[in-house]
Amino acid sequence: MPRTATARWSPALATALLTLLLQAPAPARGDGFDLNVQPLLQKHCLRCHGEKKPKGGVNLAKFADEEALRGDPELWVKVLDALTERSMPPPGNKAGPNEDERQRAATSIQAVLDAIEGVNDPGPSIVQRLTRRQYNNTVRDLLGVDARPAQTFPADGGGGGGFDNNAATLFVPPILLEKYLTAAAGVLAEADPARYLIARPGPDLSKEQAARRCVATFARRAFRRPVSDLEVDRLLRLFHHADARGDSFDDAVRLALRASLVSPNFLYLVERDRSDTKAKTDAKADPDAPYTVSDHELACRLSYFLWSSMPDDALSDLADAGRLHDPAVLEGQVRRMLADPKSRALAEDFAGQWLRVANLAELAEPDKRLFPEYTAELRDAMAEEAIAYCHALFRDDRPVLELLDSEYTYLNERLAKHYGIEGVTGPDFRRVALKDRNRGGVLGMAAVLTLTSYPRRTSPVLRGKWVLEEILGTPPPPPPPMIKALPPDDRVKDGMTFRQRLEQHRKDVNCASCHARLDPLGFGLENFDVLGRWRDKINDEPVDASGKLTTGEDFSGAAALKAILAASKRELFLRNLVERMLAYALRRGVEYYDIPTVKQVMAELEANEHRGTALIVAVAKSFPFQNRRNERQGAH
């Protein structure tokens, strides 16, 4: 199913479509679009999305047949999403299509999109610079140092999928080159010389031989692959220069090692284009066709995916032996790596950025006068709950659906006290059973609830947007310009509660469609205050945490909302999680040609009880993770 990160199936629609397919033969190609899609466009869509001033810049009038649809699959997955989520036409529009029209149109659009799935493309091959965390972790594992020199580097920007490891956005400003030079000298000075001075001149070893052994061994680990004699010779030139000017052996070697730490082979995850040798001898060979990455490249992809660091000796040895592509060996390594404490990096980098809790200090500022208890200690504990929870989910091979709802969380004494949970003492985080089902899962975590609040009040709009965007992967469009802002607090004003003022705001036709999707989700979390504490009243009035989704489900309260998400919205959540994980693992945004991979990973999840390890293994075995194409090849 060719889809971008904004388009999804719902279980209810999938069931209905399966029923239709069982009852009648699928429409012939050409008939489905003409019979089911074009009439719906004419009747319900072109008034707003026609040739003249199309809303949102979406002009559907130019799509006269299936061929035109196939030419812009990214737009049509959004159309499909609007149909399945019933977000278009806007809710309340009585002239909208009925369920039969929606289902027939969705089936026909899906049939056309399915026909263009066979794109054998692993995506662009962009060399990725190490992120700040990857740099720190790599020098830690390379040299055994606790220094974090990359904290002084310029911040990494976010890219496709929302992750800072997106290769296309990791530039190298001039100041960063200076930082690299300083950092290289610093980490070598801090490291134990025995870590890298593995040979010294002696009766049986010349100065040249000892230096070559030190440099070659270090470069092999720093470059994360075997190194050539030519590469070692280049580094040794610096040793010879320092030695000629009278530097000690140790200092001269360190100069060569410092050069390796500012080499692109260290600072980038370099993957080399395939040689054209075969193409020269085989006229039918395509030098730009996708091909399997080398074992050492796969080892790096795997280690920076799960550990945000360099491969260890076990991975490197398997790569040397050419065994890492063996599916059983690869799965065994994934399980080993997830059990290693270094897999916490996956929670910090993936979950921390996906859920946005890693930047809680920068993104949330509760009013200090209203919430004096919001200290740095509490803020850090909030963020740690989410990280520790996600780390345990993958480490312990828990079902990923527990991200939506669970009977436990991870707390220390400070955060447990904040939640009103007794029996937790000390600063360390540990698994704690929950008696209240409103709290379990990421929607009940204080970090998320604080992140999606304003300084002086909660925000059903921000919380609803967060659920749509981060959990379901169906983000709403940006608000229209010149819309009057809502008040900064939730005091009763002119005899109206905040909820009543928000409902009045929704009457604006420019706001109604989006708020119909946003507000119910956010109001389901209204029992949680700005800091994520439970409350039964707001300004002495009982909390109204009821809502009705655009797909018709009624609920009241966080527990009921989570139950709906885990049931009727499960497919949306799983697809979004898979796409996010792929974007993080591939270090780029997910595109329509990745959808066969998304489907395959989802199938593996379904077949393995939605376990966290199954997700990671399926991504690691996927076509785009194990293949690349030469950089000079044009886009698909």
pLDDT digits (tens, 9 = 90+) for 545-559: 999 998 899 999 999
**Where exactly are the structural domains of the chain?**
11-114, 128-269, 348-567
Question: Comparing C-alpha atoms, which of 54, 58, 83, 68 is closest to residue 113?
Answer: 68
Question: By percentage, how much of the chain surpasses pLDDT 70?
Answer: 84
Query: What span, in angstroms and rounded, lies between the C-alpha atoms of 606 and 604?
Result: 5
Q: Report helix angle 327-339 to 313-320, nearest 10.
A: 170
Q: Which are the contacts of 5, defined by CB distance < 8 A and separation ≥ 6?
A: 161, 473, 576, 579, 580, 583, 589, 590
Number of H helices, E strands in the chain: 30, 10
Count CB-CB contacts under 10 A for residue 322.
11
* pTM, full prediction: 0.84
Per-residue pLDDT averaged across 126-131, rounded? 93
What does each C-alpha distance from 90 to 78, 175, 473 come to in angstroms? Answer: 15, 49, 19
Is the pLDDT assigned to residue 311 strictly greater than 50? yes
pLDDT digits (tens, 9 = 90+) for 38-97: 898 888 888 889 888 888 888 999 898 888 887 788 788 788 878 876 777 776 566 678
Instruction: Name residue, tokens 């600072």.
Output: 267
pLDDT digits (tens, 9 = 90+) for 582-625: 999 999 999 878 878 998 999 999 999 999 999 999 999 999 99
Query: What span, in angstroms and rounded, lies between the C-alpha atoms of 443 and 173?
Result: 38
Instruction: Name residue, tokens 């010349």.
Output: 206
Helix residue ranges per DSSP H, 156-294: 174-190, 207-222, 229-244, 249-261, 264-267, 277-281
Pairwise pLDDT comparison (513 vs 335), residue with the higher score: 335
Is the pLDDT assigned to residue 443 strictly greater than 90? yes
